[in-house]
Amino acid sequence: MSFKDTFRLRIDRLARQVGPLLEESWREARQRLDDLNQALASQAVPGERRARVSELALKRKGQQAGQKSAEIRPFPEQGKTVQRSDFDQ
C-alpha cells in the first residue's frame, strides 16, 4: 500500500470519527445563536407593541386561511364579553 493510500485511509477514518462531532457542535452553536437572537429581539420590542404585533400576525394568518371574522375572546378572568377584530368593520 502506498503512502498516498495510507494517508487517504487515515483521513477517511478521521473524517468518520470527527464528522458527527462537528455536526453536533454546529447544531448546538446554531441553537444558541437562535436563542440569543430571540432574546435580543424580545428586548428590542416594547411589551405593548409585541402584543399588538402578535395580534396582527394572528389576524393576518386567519385572513389568509379564509376566516371571515376573528373573535377576540378575553381570558376567563376578564369576563365573557366578545370583541370583534378591526378587520371585521
What is residue 69's predicted lDDT score, i.e. its pLDDT?
A: 62
Q: Whole-structure pTM over 0.85, yes or no?
A: no
Write out pLDDT tens, residues 26-78. 999 999 999 999 888 888 877 777 777 778 888 888 888 876 665 666 666 65
* β strands within the chain, DSSP E: 71-72, 83-84
Distance CA 13, CA 24 (A): 18
Cα distance between residue 33 and residue 25, in whole Å: 12
Where in the chain are the domains?
3-88
